[in-house]
Structure formats: C-alpha cells, structure tokens
Structure 1
Amino acid sequence: MRYLFIVITIELLLAALSVVVLYKTPPLYFVYVSISVAVMILAALLYHRLGIPIKKITTGMELLAAQDFSSQLRPTGQKDTDKIIGVFNSMMKQLRNQVLMNQEQNFFLKQLIDASPMGVITLDFNEQIDMFNSAAVKMLKTDKNTILKTKQLSDIDSELTKYLSELDFCDSKIIRMSNTDRYKCSCLFFMDRGFKRKFYLIESLTEEIRKAEREAYGKVIRTIAHEVNNSMAATKAVLDITETVIADDPDIVETLECCKNRINSMTNFITQYANVVKTPPMHCIPQNINALINNNISFYEAMCIGTNVKIKSQLSTTPITANIDSAMFEQVLVNIIKNAIESCNGIGEVQILTIDKQLIIADNGKGIQPKEAQNLFNPFYSTKPNGQGIGLMFAADTLRRHGFEFSLATNPVDGITRFTISLEPLTHPQI
C-alpha cells in the first residue's frame, strides 16, 4: 500500500504541474503532458514490478508470524515473483504437513500414555505437574480434579507421592505400600527445548509378585504336606498296631498316646499351611457389618481373658452393608483382632470402629517397626516367636478376593496401629 500511495502522489503532482504549465507556457503543455503520461506509466510499471512482490512478501511474513500454514499466496503473473511465491507456497505446504503430522503423533502419544498400565506423571520446568494418565490417578488413589488443582506432586495426599518426591534423577526403586501393593518407581527426564524435564514412571508389580509368591509357596506346601502326612499316617498306623500288642503295659501305652497326639498335632499344623493355597470358593451376599461385629463381640472379648486388654467398639449409627462371605470375613476379623491383642503385650486397648464404609481395628500396642512393615504380609513372616505367618497372609488374600482395599500401619504421631478396610469394593471380587 505504501508504494501505491507514492505512485498516486507522484501522478497527482504531475497533474498539478500540467495545469500550471497550461497557464504559464501553453506551447509546452502537450510536451509536458506527454512526459507526465510517460512518467505515470513508468511509475505504474515500477509499482507492478516492485510494489506487488514486496506486498506479497509482507503478506507471507504476516502468515508465518501468525503460524497460519493453511493459507497460500496467489500468483501475480510475473515470472520472477511467481517463482518466489511458488517456493513460499511449497514451504508453507511442508510446514502444514509437518504441523499436522506432529499433531497426529502427539494425539497418538497422549492416547498411548493414557491407555498404558504404567503410571506416567510429567513435570514442567518449575517441577509442577504438567501431565498425568489414568493409571497414575488410580495408583495415587485420588481423582483427576484433585491433581488438576494441585501444583506440586508432594501436595497430593497419597502415600505413594511421599516416595516419588524422594527419588533423584535417573533413580529407580521398588516401593512396598502399607496395603501390600508394590510399585517400581523411576524418576527420569527428557529434553525439551534444550533443557531437562522430569517425569515419573510407576509400574505395578503387585499381581506379578503375588502370583509368583503363591505359586512358589503353594508348590512347597503341597510337597511338604504330601510327604509329611504320608509319613505321619504310616507312623501312626504302626503305633496303633504296637498299642494293641502291648496294651497290658500302661507306661508304654501312655508314651504311645503322646506320640500319636504329637503326630495329630503335626498333621494339623501342616494341613493349616496346605489349606492356605486352596481356600474354598466364596459365597458373597449383602451383610450388615455392624450386626456381624455385635454378634461376635463376646468372642472377641473372650480372646482377652487372662490379659488386661480391653475390647471397645464404636459402630456407626446407620447400618453399613457390604457384600461378603460372612464365614471367611469373620475369620479375617478374628485374625486381625488376635494380632492386635497380642501386640498390646498383656495391657492396652483394642478398638473396633465402623465409619463411612470403613472398618478400622486399632490398638495402642507396641506398634509396627519400619523394617517389619516391609514384610508384614509376606508368606510365613511373623514377628512373634512362635508365629506361623498365616493369619495376616490369609486376611490379605481374603480381603483381596472380596475386592476390598486395606492397609496396616502405625501412625507416628499418636502411636496407634490401625488395620483399615474399605468396605466399598475398588476392584472386582475374585470369587
């Protein structure tokens, strides 16, 4: 437009001078008019040769600045200018295709990350949460809105974020949660505009480890149970025959009875281990948890006989209903409460609480040490001198089969140990 304005201005000046010449020197008027026309034609040609290409280049620069790669410049009819326009349009087409390809790849990558079973959390340059996928939301046991409102990873109220915040660049660690879940957490980085950006990968190892553990100890138990029971059965048969032969000697008969009782105890002991790997199928129906606890409270109190441990219950005023196998769930409660009583070392208090679809069994006993917490639900691990490590293993397996989330931990603030069971299934029950 600037060049067109200059041309028009020149033409107007020449026209004005023509009028002046007409009045001052009429003989030179036609000569001057001819020169003016020639100058105007020359100016128009100059604008067509220079002004239009410059205008096209300016328009192209504006398109690039606005990142409008979908527009193209139209040819002007000038050979040299059209070559420049052709190169520009070809460049714009390549840029448009590249942008489209990047958008498609980014969309695919986001879909792939969101569908990944591994949790992914990326941070920006200020180490604030930039992106996360559905698996990460599930593992953090929170919701998307909470994460979107949160800037720092450490601000999310989750047990897992505490461990993630402690990881350094290129660090990887297997973490065990209080509910026996295990995750392999890695802190990695990628380059963005020449700078490092941190991201976390969270891989769930829980099911693989549980399956491997169950297969391993199941095979061992079945082998031992088979061999021991066969040996015990043969030994007991020999003792029965011997007892009939020497029935007139009471001392030997008494000794044989002790041996037979010990064999029965050993058989029962090994059978308990064998039963762990072949738990019966569950038959779940809706049950009132408060009523189930009230019906068994006398039995729980009887477990405290001979100690100064008190059982107290604080149940919600409204019924709490859960879909459970009552027989197996009752056994779970017996195991948990028994452990809580034993943790009190003869004096203390065990509380049974129900609130907001949660069942909590708390005790003020010796608590759980950090080293013990890492192994609590491991097969056959026990902190008790004569413990077999079956109770918690059975409880954890049964609760998982119900689809219930659970945790066992000692609060460092008040020193209370709580076994918390969420009675709202978060996973499909494994009937």
Structure 2
Amino acid sequence: MKSKFWFILLALCIVAIIGLASIFHVPDYPWIYVAYAMAILSLIMLFRSIIKPHDTVIRGMELISAQDFNNRLTPVGEYNADKIVTLFNSLIDKLRLERLRNLEQDSFLRLLIDSSPMGVMMLDFDGKIVMINNSLCRITGIKGEQDALGRYPEDLPTDLAAKISAVPLGESRIIRRGDIRRYRCYHLSFMQSGFKRRFFLLESLTEEMMKAERAAYEKVIRTMSHEVNNTMGGVKSVLELLHDTADDDELSEVIESCDDRCDRLCEFISSYAQVVKVPAPVRQDADLNDTLSAMLPFLKGMIPETVSLDYSPGDISRKVSIDISLIQQVVVNIVKNAVESITGDGHIIISTGILDNSVWLDISNDGMPITDEVSHMLFSPFFTTKRDGRGLGLTLISEILNRHNAQFSLKTDTDGITHFHIEFE
C-alpha cells in the first residue's frame, strides 16, 4: 500500500510539472504534448510492471499469513509477474490438498484412537496432556477429556496417575488399581518437527490374566481334590476296619482322631473346590436397598458386640440386574473380612447410592489399614494375611463380581478408613 501511495504521488507530481510546462511554453514547444503523452504512458507501463505485481505479491503474503488456501491470485498481464502468480497458485493448490489430506488423516486417527480399547494419552512438547481418549478416561476413572487437558500426567485426578508417570520413556510396566484389574502401560515417543513427542498407552490385561489364573488354579484344585479324596477314601476304609477290630480303648481313640483329621482334610479341600464351582449368576431385576435390608438381622448377628454396623441406603431410582443369593454371599464375605480386621471397638458402614447411572455399594470399616505391599496382592488366588486363612474369600468375591460385570476396588483412604466399593452398571 505504501509503494502504491508513493507511485501515485510521483505520478501526480510528474503530471503537474508537465502540465505547467505545457501551459507556459505550448506556443514555443509543441512537442511538450508528445512528452506529456509519453510520460503518462510510461507511468501506466511502470504501474503494470512494478506496482501491480508488487501488490499481488503482498496479497499472496497475506493469504499465506492467514492460511487461506481457498483463494487465488489474479494474473496482472505482465509476463514475469504472471509466472510468479501461476507458480503461487500451483503451490497454494498443493498446500490446500496436503492440508485437506492431513485433516482427513487426523480425523481418521482421532476416530481410530477414540474407538480403540487401549487407553491413549498424548503430550505436547512441554509434557502436558493435549489428547486423551475415551478408553483411558474409563480406565482411570476421569470424567472426561476436559478434566485432563493442560495437566501433567502425574496431576491427573486418578489413583493411577503416579504409576503411569513413573513408567520410564521407552519402557513398559504392569500396573494395577486397588482391585483385580491390571494394565500394561507403555511410555513411547515419536518425532514431530524435529522434536520428541511423548505418549502413553494403557492395555488391559485383566481378562486374559484372569483366564490364565483361573485355568491354573482350577487345574491345581481339581488335581488336589482328586488325589486327596481318593487317598482319604482308602485311608478311611482302613481306619474303619481297624476301629471295628481294635480291642484297645487307647488305640480306638487314636483311630477316631485320625478319622476326624481325614474328614477335616476333605472339608478343607472341598472349600477350595467351591471357588471352581461358582455357578453362573441367575440374574433378576432387584432393588439393592431391599436386598441389603433383608440381610441386616443376619449381618448384625455375625458381628461381636464391640463392633457396630450402620446401614445408610441412598435414593436409588432404578433396579439392578443381579443374582441375589450370590451378591448376598459377597456382602457376607466382605463384612466378615471387615470384622476380622477390627481389633477391639470398631465401626462398619454399609451405604448405597447412584452416580452417573451406576448403582454403587460401599462397605467401609475402621479396622487395620491395607498397606501398599498387601494392596498389590489383593484378589490374587490363595493370598492371605490371616494366620489360618486360605486366601479364598477375595478370590470368591472377585469371581462373583466379575461374572456380574461389576467394577470394584478395595483400598484404605488417607483417613485410615478402608472401603470395598462396588459399582453395578
């Protein structure tokens, strides 16, 4: 615009000078008219060859600066300038097609990432989150992408934040929540504009690991049951024969004691077999509050006088699809574990509610807290911290809840209260 202004000002000055000269010297110098016409023609040619191409270049710069790849430059009628215009328009077409292709690829990749069962979290060059997909929100318990954007991974509102951010770049680790769910977390990077962009992938291992664990302990339990029952059957037959022929009271007592131990061993093995024989749930629509209310007399009867049990039902507007007898067995086992964790006076609270269309059940106690070392082993088959425990209670609970497709966790909060939290879809 400045060049055009100065050109017009120069043209006006030249025209004014020639005009004044023609007024005062026309009679003596008639050729001034010719000079006047040639000056005007020269100015027109100068405008077309310099100023107009210059304005076209400025216009092209403005289009690039605004990233406007839909408009084109118009030829100015000057050969060299028109070559630049043609080249510019060709480059703009290529940029537009490349941009369109990138947008289509980005849209496809975003759709692919959002529909992926793996959790994906992308970081910017400063290490802050710029993208997180639905699967990672579901895995970590984050309400939505907006709750994560602009944060560092370790600042995410989830108990997995520290575990995710602790994975070194270029490595993978298996991490787990407070329940049976396990995930493999990958910390990887790719190059963009010559710099590394980091991202995390979370792959669920729960289902395949559960199948492998279940297959392993089912095989062990069945083998143990078969061998022990067959052996004990023969031993008991011999003991009965000896008992019938024994004429010594002391020997009879020894035989009876051995027979009693055989019965207890068979019962011990049978208790393990119950985990394998958990029936498939026969679901029905049930009111969770009514189901728990019907259990209260039994639950209060199984706890000592030093432990109080409170029930705080929430306002649940819908029923849940559950096997009532199996869920009652789950509640009994959880309350039993809570009682065993309390030494002296204690308090157990059973509460229910609904959140985001999920009906939840929470059983809390103020007994011994769960340590970090123990939390990593919870729900593992045969793991127990009890002196005479068999490690079957939590295994049975997780088996039943998984067959109900329920989400659950067991952990101690910072206030020392331990919560067993269950969510039914």
Same fold (TM over 0.5): yes
CA distance in 1, matches of 2:327, 2:321: 10
Deviation of 1:405 (Å): 2.1
Contact 2:133/2:145 (CA < 8 Å) preserved in 1? no
CA distance in 1, matches of 2:38, 2:292: 110
Q: Show the 5 A alignment for 1:25-44.
A: 26-29=27-30, 31-44=31-44
Contact 2:283/2:324 (CA < 8 Å) preserved in 1? yes
Deviation of 1:372 (Å): 1.1
Secondary structure of the 2:160 match is helix
Residue 403 of structure 2 corresponds to: 401
Residue 62 of structure 2 corresponds to: 62
- 1:354 matched to 2:351: yes
Deviation of 1:155 (Å): 4.7
CA distance in 1, matches of 2:293, 2:54: 91
Residue 22 of structure 2 corresponds to: 18
CA distance in 2, matches of 1:54, 1:243: 118
Residue 278 of structure 2 corresponds to: 279
CA distance in 1, matches of 2:422, 2:165: 27
Tell me the C-alpha RMSD between the 2 structures. 3.0
- 1:98 matched to 2:98: yes
Q: Show the 5 A alignment for 1:168-187.
A: 169-170=169-170, 172-187=172-187
Residue 374 of structure 1 corresponds to: 376
394-403 vs 376-385, which moves further: 394-403
- Structure 1: runs of 5 or more not aligned: 426-431
**CA deviation string 1:274-311 (max 9, x = no partner):** 23123112112233444444433343344345xx6423
CA distance in 2, matches of 1:8, 1:359: 89
CA distance in 2, matches of 1:73, 1:323: 67
Contact 1:287/1:322 (CA < 8 Å) preserved in 2? yes
Residue 265 of structure 2 corresponds to: 266
CA distance in 2, matches of 1:312, 1:395: 21
Deviation of 1:33 (Å): 0.9
Secondary structure of the 1:311 match is strand
Secondary structure of the 1:28 match is coil
Code of the aligned partner of 2:179: N
CA distance in 1, matches of 2:91, 2:314: 73
CA distance in 2, matches of 1:94, 1:5: 39
Residue number among 359, 364, 367 corresponding to 1:365 in the alignment: 367
- 1:328 matched to 2:326: yes
Identity %: 35
Q: Residues 146 and 61 (structure 1 numbering): CA distance in 2 closer, same or farther, change over 3 Å? A: closer
Residue 357 of structure 2 corresponds to: none
Contact 2:118/2:201 (CA < 8 Å) preserved in 1? yes
CA distance in 2, matches of 1:75, 1:301: 92
Residue number among 307, 312, 315 corresponding to 1:315 in the alignment: 312
Contact 1:167/1:186 (CA < 8 Å) preserved in 2? yes
Contact 2:48/2:76 (CA < 8 Å) preserved in 1? no
**CA deviation string 1:349-375 (max 9, x = no partner):** 241321424433333322222211111
Q: Residues 290 and 49 (structure 1 numbering): CA distance in 2 closer, same or farther, change over 3 Å? A: closer
Secondary structure of the 1:179 match is coil
Residue number among 406, 411, 414 corresponding to 1:412 in the alignment: 414
Secondary structure of the 2:411 match is strand
Code of the aligned partner of 2:29: L
Contact 2:350/2:363 (CA < 8 Å) preserved in 1? yes
159-168 vs 149-158, which moves further: 149-158
**What TM-score, normalized to structure 1?**
0.85
Secondary structure of the 1:219 match is helix
CA distance in 2, matches of 1:300, 1:229: 34
CA distance in 1, matches of 2:258, 2:368: 38
Deviation of 1:138 (Å): 0.6
CA distance in 1, matches of 2:74, 2:8: 19
- Structure 2: runs of 5 or more not aligned: 355-359
Deviation of 1:145 (Å): 6.3
Q: Residues 418 and 59 (structure 1 numbering): CA distance in 2 closer, same or farther, change over 3 Å? A: closer
Q: Residues 114 and 145 (structure 1 numbering): CA distance in 2 closer, same or farther, change over 3 Å? A: closer
CA distance in 2, matches of 1:362, 1:42: 95
CA distance in 2, matches of 1:150, 1:79: 52
CA distance in 1, matches of 2:291, 2:99: 63
**CA deviation string 1:372-397 (max 9, x = no partner):** 11112100001112211001110112
Contact 1:178/1:373 (CA < 8 Å) preserved in 2? yes
CA distance in 2, matches of 1:341, 1:10: 106
CA distance in 2, matches of 1:213, 1:368: 23
Residue 164 of structure 1 corresponds to: 164
Q: Residues 21 and 129 (structure 1 numbering): CA distance in 2 closer, same or farther, change over 3 Å? A: same
CA distance in 2, matches of 1:368, 1:148: 29
**What TM-score, normalized to structure 2?**
0.86
80-89 vs 160-169, which moves further: 160-169
Contact 1:407/1:421 (CA < 8 Å) preserved in 2? yes
In the comparison of the two structures, how many residue pairs are matched?
415
Residue 214 of structure 1 corresponds to: 214
CA distance in 2, matches of 1:13, 1:255: 139
Deviation of 1:174 (Å): 2.2
90-99 vs 231-240, which moves further: 231-240
CA distance in 1, matches of 2:292, 2:158: 30
CA distance in 1, matches of 2:287, 2:224: 40
Code of the aligned partner of 1:66: A
CA distance in 1, matches of 2:294, 2:91: 81
Q: Residues 40 and 293 (structure 1 numbering): CA distance in 2 closer, same or farther, change over 3 Å? A: closer
Q: Show the 5 A alignment for 1:51-130.
A: 51-130=51-130
Contact 1:352/1:359 (CA < 8 Å) preserved in 2? no
Contact 2:338/2:348 (CA < 8 Å) preserved in 1? no
Q: Residues 76 and 298 (structure 1 numbering): CA distance in 2 closer, same or farther, change over 3 Å? A: closer
